[in-house]
Chains A and B, each alone.
Chain A
Amino acid sequence: MDDHASALPAGAETALPHTDEVPATPPAPTEPPLLRWPLTFHGQGSEYFRIWIVNLALSIVTLGIYSAWAKVRRLKYFYGNTELAGARFDYTADPLRILKGRAIAFVFFAAYMALYALHPITAIIAGLLLWLALPWMIVRSLAFNLRYTRYRNVAFGFTGTAGGGYKHFLLLPLLLIPSLGMAFPYVHHQQRQFLLNNMRFGNQSFAMKPVIGPYFLIYLAAMGIAGGVMLMLIIMGAVIAAIGGGIVWATDWELPSWLIGVVAVGGIFLAYALFGMIYAIVMQTMRVALLNVTWSNTRVADCQIESKIALLGYIKLLCTRIPLLVITLGLATPWVVVTLTRYRLQHTALLAPNDLGGFEAAVASYGNVAGSEAGELFDLDLAL
């Protein structure tokens, strides 16, 4: 009997439920049984903490020069600890090229600031020109970073053109003006689709099915939940303040003025912290929900991506880890990042008809490093 399960490569699971029955007719040859390849993250908080702190210290000591090496080391750590079907990812960009890009971006930024101090109007025009260059930088930085992302010694790539970048990052956002921002989920969706549909692994393209409806739903739900929770907090705060004030008034306590000051300042601080935390949790959860929808509707060649990050579990993690970040003044960042990455990756898998050995490398493409680093300097977070 030819049981495909016994011939499973190590590490794979069958994506279809097992049946003991021998099928009367062999399955249609067009639909081979899919194997499920889960992603595994091997990074550890204390290990990454040491790398992170050495990166930071060396970057400071070298006045930022080392930051290019630090970036490569950080990405190498995360990619190299991500396992799929027995192999690891890798980031192979040359730090020297990143440094060059950073230097160019820094010179531009300094020149812009100097110009602003000397002649603000010229600087505003220059800023406008810089803004016009943003879509180009987005496309370039993506091409650069993907070109140096490898799996099994086969490079990823990005084939999007600058024209596509202008269409999706300059023209499309204009829709936000007449729609008063209501079109944001649509704009975001189109941008994401542009990025994914132009992403490649080897010579195979990624393809994302349109999921405009879910994008709108997720944004609406996030806004509703954030609004509801904040309203609840405001009401709670008002009730507590009223009860406290009532007790003071009824018992006629003589409270020292410093105590009132401490309570008032503490209350304001607590309110700020709570609002900040809720904002962060809602934003992060929304991001993960979008991630689920996006990746679950994305294919590369005959492989289907599966992303089932449990939102409740993720929220629970955020609720404990974000206060940890605040209490440790950010020193817990490495542990938190590793925990969140592990959680996201362990709920992600690839459904493939084979052992992923059949991808062919593409002919070399190139991306400009200056675009990538300028993009980072101006803080464009395009993490998919």
Chain B
Amino acid sequence: MSQYPVASATLYDGATSGAWPVTLQRNGDTLWLSGLAEPRSYALSEVCLEARLGSQPRRLTLPDGSVCESLDHAGIAAVFGQDDGVLHHLESRWRWVSYALLLLAGFAVAFYLWGLPLLSRGATLMTPPVVERVIGDKAFEHLTTLELDLKPTKLAAKRQAALRQRFAKLVPANSRYQYRLHFHAAPTIGANAFALPGGVVVLTDELAAIATDDEVIAVLAHEIGHVELRHGLRMIYQSAGMGVAVSAVLGDAPSAAAQVASFGALVLQLGYSRDLEREADRYAQDRLTALGLDRRKLGSALAKLMAQHKGEEHIRLPALLSSHPDTEERIKSLSR
């Protein structure tokens, strides 16, 4: 029988952890196993040879529940034929590996472009409004104490009261948020207004000084749009999302999730994306129209702001007049 191919292996019978060196030999459709007290034979169709995985031992499951382990790759190939399986073929060719790499890179880009905005929109839908309020409040505390030089307002009490009254009407009746309008003198940032998640809206004295009440109201409607459409949260999720996605791949999701909570002030550093500004513009125009006000006031307010800030180098704020170069275009479309 020595003309038939042989392979050496170790037999584990499944009843104990004992190991028996054996020799596998094939004769037609019969597999012979020798080296034990008595040689055994199995029909080839009854034994199951596991596909190759790297360079580790091959495993052969026999119908009686015992298993043969063999590092004799050449012998196994001679006995059973050279069939390593599709997966081993893919895994051992660098060509396929590079295709896989390309696919992954494409997937990562697609995820960044489309998946992340979609996911952040979904995550925003799932987040209770109270979370936004906490994030917004923390960010506001941070602002007043550290980042921005916000000073007590010098706006006349009468004008403040009038603006507050009109602001209260501007807020939709069924809003989930409790709006808090803050007036502040802000010499460092100048004429501006911004909103934080959860309903904090800040208006600077400098803006109130150059704009009419109607224009101020139009600007505030835009800020309410940011809050109602939950833009702050969406930006937070989008920027945090990439980190979470990377951590998830590396297997550290929980600690990444904990970090999300600390992203409050991030809204201010990132600014809203162009699309979100446009959404807020549209919201403001619809709101103004619904209240029977002049929808072109937002455009004229923006134009005044731009004139005011022209050539000025100031801390960029994700406020009304953000760093996007297309503000002029925005003004044009808003004046229609």
Contacts and interface: CB of A to CB of B under 8 A. Distances in A.
Interface in A123-153: 151-153
Contacts of A381: 251
B17 A356 contact: yes
Contacts of A358: 16-18
A325 B19 CA distance: 41
Contact of B103 (A50, A60, A152, A361): A60
B95 to A, nearest CB: 11
B53 A80 contact: yes
B112 interface: no
Interface residues of B, number: 44
B199 to A, nearest CB: 19
A61 B57 contact: no
A357 B17 contact: yes
Contact of B54 (A47, A151, A361): A47
A22 interface: no
B126 interface: yes
Contacts of A356: 17
Given A53-B100, A54-B87, A379-B254, A153 B54 contact: no
A381 B69 CA distance: 31
A87 B56 CA distance: 11
Interface stretch (A113-121, A168-176, A234-242, A311-319): A113-121
Contact of B92 (A50, A355, A357, A379): A50
A266 interface: no
A278 B246 CA distance: 18
Contact of A53 (B57, B65, B97): B97
A50 B148 CA distance: 51
B253 A42 contact: no
A51 B313 CA distance: 53
B65 to A, nearest CB: 8
B12 interface: yes
Contacts of A360: 15-17
Interface string A149-165: 00111100000000000
Contacts of B255: 279
Contact of A330 (B19, B53, B249): B249
A56 interface: yes
A12 to B, nearest CB: 13
A61 B126 contact: no
Given A50-B91, A257-B313, A60 B107 contact: yes
B16 A154 contact: yes
B131 to A, nearest CB: 12
B133 to A, nearest CB: 15
B17 A54 contact: no
A360 B100 CA distance: 44
A152 B19 contact: yes
Contact of A57 (B10, B59, B103, B313): B103
A48 B54 contact: yes
A278 to B, nearest CB: 13
Interface string B248-260: 0111111100000
A61 B16 CA distance: 42
A173 to B, nearest CB: 15
Contacts of B74: none
Contact of A54 (B55, B69, B100): B100
B33 to A, nearest CB: 15
A325 B87 CA distance: 26
A48 B57 CA distance: 15
Interface in B216-266: 246, 249-255
A375 interface: no
A42 B55 contact: yes
Nearest to B111: A60
Interface string A81-122: 100001110100000000000000000000001001100100
Interface string A190-208: 0000000000001000000
Contacts of B65: 153
A360 B101 CA distance: 45
A47 B59 CA distance: 19
Interface centre among B54, B55, B90, B96 (most CB of A within 10 A): B54
Contacts of A379: 253-254
B210 interface: no
Contacts of B59: 90
Contact of A153 (B13, B100, B250, B254): B13
A141 to B, nearest CB: 16
B91 A361 contact: no
Contacts of B253: 379
A54 B90 contact: yes
A329 interface: yes
Contacts of A86: 10, 19
A77 B56 contact: yes
A308 interface: no
Contact of A151 (B17, B56, B57, B100): B17
Given A76-B53, A88-B69, 5 more contacts: A51-B53, A57-B104, A77-B56, A152-B12, A360-B16
29 contacts: A44-B55, A48-B54, A51-B54, A54-B90, A56-B100, A57-B100, A60-B104, A60-B107, A76-B53, A80-B54, A81-B56, A86-B10, A87-B10, A87-B12, A120-B128, A152-B17, A153-B17, A153-B65, A153-B66, A154-B12, A202-B17, A257-B313, A330-B250, A333-B249, A357-B16, A357-B17, A359-B16, A361-B14, A361-B16
Interface of A: 42-44, 47-51, 53-54, 56-57, 60-61, 73, 76-77, 80-81, 86-88, 90, 113, 116-117, 120, 151-154, 202, 257, 279-280, 325, 329-330, 333, 355-361, 379, 381
Interface of B: 10, 12-19, 53-57, 59, 65-67, 69, 87, 90-92, 94, 96-97, 99-101, 103-104, 107, 125-126, 128, 246, 249-255, 313
| Nearest 4 Cβ contacts at the A-B interface | A153-B12, A57-B100, A359-B17, A80-B56
